[in-house]
């Protein structure tokens, strides 16, 4: 069977070929494809005390350094000076204009060129090429997403809007104390594989298994992602779902959304935890965590209570699997039709995206 083929029938399908986790050429091809997708940037509450925010990770994800600014409107602009390519901003700040720290070229918050010292005798200057390039952005319930080129945002956010659009996500507050950055020795896709199934919960996450109903764990597929729903055991913390929720009447402990290719949005009764997977090399990734809180009294409770412990447990697993897929004796396996629907869907999306 061809390396790049994953059968649409999960009961017949072989898993993703090990080359997807260990082949450098294939890794670079996949990483380049990230530029075709929407990527999570920030929650608007991160603008609380600043109006300029550099999005450092976009250099890895879409090969462009970006800034988000906020005045009367939002602006998503290049973080690269049009003079000699110096990065303009290196940390969150408040500015009325953006000045290059290298030679003093200045732009407004919309990216329009304002002035440049010692350029009085330069012909045909300035031109539109001296403005900072603009990038696409969209806001959904105060979560801001960016894209290198124009794209259909309504289809991108449709599944999440349908399921949790009732939440007051606009009221969530960014908490920097929840920021985490983990460097792991594993391919980015292995981290996604692990996230997309609850199969391993009883074996890897003992504490989480005490609050989640393993046999009732749900996996639902949508066009560009996967939703996993963890139902709470009796007496454990769950959402107080309104009647307009599609899950009204269920004891939902957590909604786990993965959106292709590398974003995880984990909704708990206390708020939202976001995981962003950065592909650094064929066998190394960085995982970024961001937290947005609606009820601080619930942060240490339920399925979202000890996320650091869950993350540590997951990292050990995926690093071990990276060693396994690098072994010559392994090429690919099989799926559990009951427990690995999400993994199969991811593998299909990934292989089809490269055609």
How far is 118 from 122, CA to CA, in rounded Å? 9
Structure token pair of residue 193: 């594989």
Q: Which CATH number fits domain 39-147: 2.102.10.10, 2.30.130.10, 3.40.50.720, 2.40.50.700?
A: 2.102.10.10
Residue 261 tokens read as 């290719």
Which tokens is 22 given?
Answer: 């260990």
The single-letter DSSP state of residue 209 is H
pLDDT in tens, 86-145: 999 999 999 999 999 999 999 999 999 999 999 999 999 999 999 999 999 999 999 999
Mind listing the pLDDT tens digit of every residue in the chain (355 residues)?
Answer: 588 999 999 999 999 999 999 999 999 999 999 999 999 999 999 999 999 999 999 999 999 999 999 998 999 999 999 999 999 999 999 999 999 999 999 999 999 999 999 999 999 999 999 999 999 999 999 999 999 999 999 999 999 999 999 999 999 999 999 999 999 999 999 999 999 999 999 889 988 988 889 888 999 999 999 999 999 999 999 999 999 999 999 999 999 999 999 999 999 999 999 999 999 999 999 999 999 999 999 998 988 888 889 889 999 999 999 999 999 999 999 999 999 999 999 999 999 999 8
Query: Which residues in the chain are classed under CATH 3.90.380.10?
Result: 19-35+174-353
What is Dmax (Cα atoms) for the chain?
76
SS3 category, 272: strand
φ, ψ of residue 19 in degrees (nearest 5)? -55, -30
**CATH 2.102.10.10 residue ranges for the chain:** 39-147
Task: Give the dihedral of Cα atoms 98, 99, 101, 102; nearest 10 deg.
Answer: 130
Before 261, cis peptide (omega within 30)? yes
**Would you list the DSSP string of 145-171?**
EEESS---HHHHHHHHHHHHTTS-GGG
Torsions phi, psi of 66, nearest 5?
-125, 155
Contact status, residue 199 vs residue 169, Cβ threshold 8 Å: no
Locus of tokens 């601080």: 296
The end-to-end CA distance of the chain, in Å, is 17
Q: CA 221 to CA 227: how far, in whole Å?
A: 6
Strand segments (E) across the chain: 39-43, 52-55, 66-70, 74-78, 98-99, 106-107, 113-115, 136-140, 143-147, 173-174, 180-184, 218-222, 225-231, 252-259, 263-268, 271-281, 284-293
Rounded-to-integer distance, Cα 193 and Cα 350, Å:
11
Is residue 117 within 8 A of residue 104, CB to CB? The reply is yes
Q: How many whole angstroms separate alpha carbon 56 and alpha carbon 91?
A: 9
For residues 136 and 7, what is the distance between their CA atoms, to the nearest angstrom? 35
| CATH code reported for the domain at 19-35+174-353 | 3.90.380.10
Report helix, strand or coil for 324. helix
This prediction has a pTM of 0.96
């Amino acid at each position: 069977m061809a390396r790049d083929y994953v059968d649409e029938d999960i009961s017949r399908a072989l898993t993703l070929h090990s080359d997807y986790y260990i082949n450098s050429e294939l890794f670079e091809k996949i990483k380049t494809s990230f530029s075709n997708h929407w990527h999570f940037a920030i929650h608007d509450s991160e603008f609380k005390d600043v109006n300029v925010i550099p999005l450092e990770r976009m250099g890895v994800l879409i090969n462009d350094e970006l800034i988000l600014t906020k005045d009367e409107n939002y602006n998503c602009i290049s973080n690269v000076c049009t003079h000699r390519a110096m990065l303009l901003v290196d940390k969150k700040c408040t500015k009325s204009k953006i000045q290059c720290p290298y030679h003093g070229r200045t732009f407004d918050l919309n990216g329009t060129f304002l002035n440049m010292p010692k350029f009085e005798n330069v012909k045909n200057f300035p031109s539109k090429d001296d403005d900072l390039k603009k990038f696409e952005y969209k806001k959904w319930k105060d979560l801001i997403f960016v894209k290198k080129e124009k794209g259909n945002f309504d289809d991108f956010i449709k599944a999440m809007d349908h399921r949790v659009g009732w939440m007051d996500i606009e009221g969530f507050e960014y908490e920097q104390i929840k920021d985490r950055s983990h460097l792991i020795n594993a391919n980015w896709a292995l981290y996604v594989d692990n996230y997309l199934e609850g199969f391993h919960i009883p074996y890897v996450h003992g504490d989480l298994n005490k609050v989640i109903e393993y046999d009732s764990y749900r996996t639902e597929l949508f066009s560009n992602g996967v939703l996993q729903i963890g139902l709470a055991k009796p007496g454990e913390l769950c959402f107080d779902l309104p009647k307009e929720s599609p899950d009204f009447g269920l004891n939902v402990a957590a909604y786990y959304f993965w959106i292709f290719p590398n974003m995880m949005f984990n909704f708990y009764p206390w708020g939202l935890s976001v995981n962003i997977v950065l592909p650094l090399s064929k066998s190394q990734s960085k995982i970024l965590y961001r937290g947005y809180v609606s009820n601080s009294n619930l942060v240490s409770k339920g399925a979202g209570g000890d996320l650091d412990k869950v993350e540590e447990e997951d990292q050990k697993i995926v690093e071990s699997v990276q060693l396994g897929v690098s072994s010559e004796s392994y090429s690919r396996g099989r799926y559990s039709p009951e427990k690995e629907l999400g993994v199969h869907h991811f593998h299909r999306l990934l292989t089809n995206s490269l055609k």
